[in-house]
């Protein structure tokens, strides 16, 4: 009786026997197709998690300053003037970044439009347009006003790392490739979990702990699956939140938030500044920061300069307690008056959720602990990709590709069919690629039949 109770019914066994080959084939093709992309994106992502710390460590002469005991920080206007004087006039002011630590230099960012034919446009092209923008970071000592150094973002190490992470240095085509690889990477994770799922009596070794002493294919299989099991949630969260910044899924998500009334009106359509009266000086950066701080205190901020004749200043402030207390202040460029204030508690649920995506994606949501987890998850994704290809290479028959075949009796269960449809709806690029693969397979089958008929 006990054995009978523990054994799956014939119907259950039939469902499992049909489920496993289908999931295995999906896992194989999804994993093999996206492995090169996932390795690049995961490696660059792991580096970017600790971008701030690595930059301070490798460039202390421009990133850090000595805090004097009896000299207050200079005005923001004076710091900006020092940075402005260090660059030719074609560079336009873009933003002012102040860090929370008193020993950090200010980052004052300028930008210019360059065409792909400019002699000095050597940065990796991040889109397929005829022109792009370069961003020059000027580092200023807030206490002395001295310019400590400068670098072009697009030519810097982390600028290239970020471009690789987002576009594979392939412009818009690369962005779509990264999104497609991420979506199929999620499919590979989910199917891998189903393949790992214990069937029958659970065991410790081979399920929760790797059988390294057994060596060979068995140890390699366990190294492929078990580390990924423990960091499955982190890897899935990193991949999923990264989709918010993609071309298809991300823009669709923001469109859904917009039409669902989840985005603040000022985010959708920023307020405009009033006309500047004749012979009147516009509000200074000090006026803008002083006015913004009347709404709430913040040790660090990103101040975006106004664009156009009626653009406004936008200050993104962050507090010591992290993203949940961040806020945005829109300020009139002419008068310095507040136009609108957005803080986290006032946001709609959809906007609150979207605001957390970046900190989850970069591992910064709970500080150092989650950053370490994010790096480990990236390294595990790389390890699973490498060991997966390694297993296929070792197991494939000599002279053959070695892909799992679809048996004639294999029928996709309704649950799998529904899951495929759901994935196609949830991830549009996955759906599109499934259609392309199905059309290719159909055309290949027709061609084989015609060839056989004429033989």
pLDDT band per the 50, 70, 90 thresholds, residue 395: confident
> pTM of this prediction?
0.87
- Residues 373 and 363: beta-carbon distance below 8 Å: yes
- pLDDT, tens digit, for every residue of 39-67? 999 999 999 999 999 999 999 999 999 99
Burial class (CB in 10 A: 0-12, 13-18, 19+), 368: exposed
- pLDDT, tens digit, for every residue of 413-444? 677 678 778 888 899 999 898 888 888 878 88
pLDDT band per the 50, 70, 90 thresholds, residue 321: very low
Query: What is the arithmetic mean of pLDDT over 75-90?
Result: 97
Measured from the Cβ of residue 426, the count of other Cβ atoms closer than 10 Å reads 13
Q: Which helix (H) or strand (E) holds 60?
A: helix 60-63
- Residues 133 and 113: beta-carbon distance below 8 Å: yes
Residues 143 and 88: their CA atoms lie apart, in Å, by: 24
Res 8: pLDDT: 42
Res 324: pLDDT: 53
Please, which residues have CB within 8 angstroms of residue 68's CB and are 6 or more apart in sequence?
Answer: 143
pLDDT band per the 50, 70, 90 thresholds, residue 25: confident
């Amino acid at each position: 009786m006990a054995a009978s109770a523990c054994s799956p019914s014939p119907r259950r066994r039939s469902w499992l026997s049909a489920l496993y080959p289908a999931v295995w084939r999906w896992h194989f093709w999804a994993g093999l197709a996206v492995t090169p992309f996932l390795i690049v994106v995961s490696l660059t992502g792991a580096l970017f998690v600790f971008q701030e710390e690595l930059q301070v460590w490798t460039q202390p002469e421009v990133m850090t300053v000595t805090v004097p005991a009896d000299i207050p920080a200079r005005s923001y206007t004076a710091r900006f003037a020092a940075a402005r004087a260090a660059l030719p006039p074609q560079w336009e002011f873009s933003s002012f970044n102040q860090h929370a630590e008193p020993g950090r230099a200010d980052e004052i960012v300028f930008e210019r439009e360059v065409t792909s034919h400019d002699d000095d446009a050597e940065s990796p092209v991040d889109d397929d347009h005829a022109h792009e923008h370069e961003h020059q970071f000027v580092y200023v000592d807030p206490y002395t006003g001295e310019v400590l150094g400068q670098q072009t973002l697009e030519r810097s190490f982390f600028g290239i790392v970020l471009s690789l992470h987002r576009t594979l240095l392939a412009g818009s085509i690369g962005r779509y490739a990264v999104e497609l690889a991420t979506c199929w990477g999620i499919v590979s994770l989910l199917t891998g979990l189903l393949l790992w799922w214990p069937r029958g009596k659970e065991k410790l070794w081979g399920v929760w702990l790797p059988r390294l002493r057994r060596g060979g294919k068995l140890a390699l299989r366990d190294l492929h699956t078990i580390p990924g099991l423990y960091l499955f949630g982190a890897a899935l969260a990193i991949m999923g939140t990264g989709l918010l910044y993609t071309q298809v899924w991300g823009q669709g998500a923001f469109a859904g938030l917009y039409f669902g009334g989840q985005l603040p009106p000022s985010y959708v359509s920023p307020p405009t500044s009033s006309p500047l009266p004749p012979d009147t000086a516009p509000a200074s950066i000090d006026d803008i920061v002083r006015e913004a701080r009347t709404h709430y205190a913040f040790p660090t901020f990103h101040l975006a300069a106004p664009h156009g004749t009626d653009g406004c200043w936008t200050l993104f402030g962050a507090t010591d307690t992290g993203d949940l207390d961040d806020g945005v202040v829109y300020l009139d460029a002419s008068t310095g008056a507040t136009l609108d204030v957005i803080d986290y508690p006032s946001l709609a649920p959809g906007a609150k959720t979207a605001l957390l995506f970046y900190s989850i994606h970069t591992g910064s949501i709970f500080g150092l602990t989650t950053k370490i987890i994010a790096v480990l998850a990236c390294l595990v994704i790389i390890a699973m990709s490498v060991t997966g290809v390694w297993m296929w290479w070792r197991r494939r028959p000599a002279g053959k590709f070695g892909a799992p075949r679809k048996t004639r009796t294999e029928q996709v269960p309704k649950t799998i069919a529904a899951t495929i449809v759901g994935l196609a709806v949830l991830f549009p690029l996955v759906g599109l690629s499934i259609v392309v693969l199905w059309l290719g397979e159909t055309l290949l089958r027709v061609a084989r039949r015609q060839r056989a008929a004429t033989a």
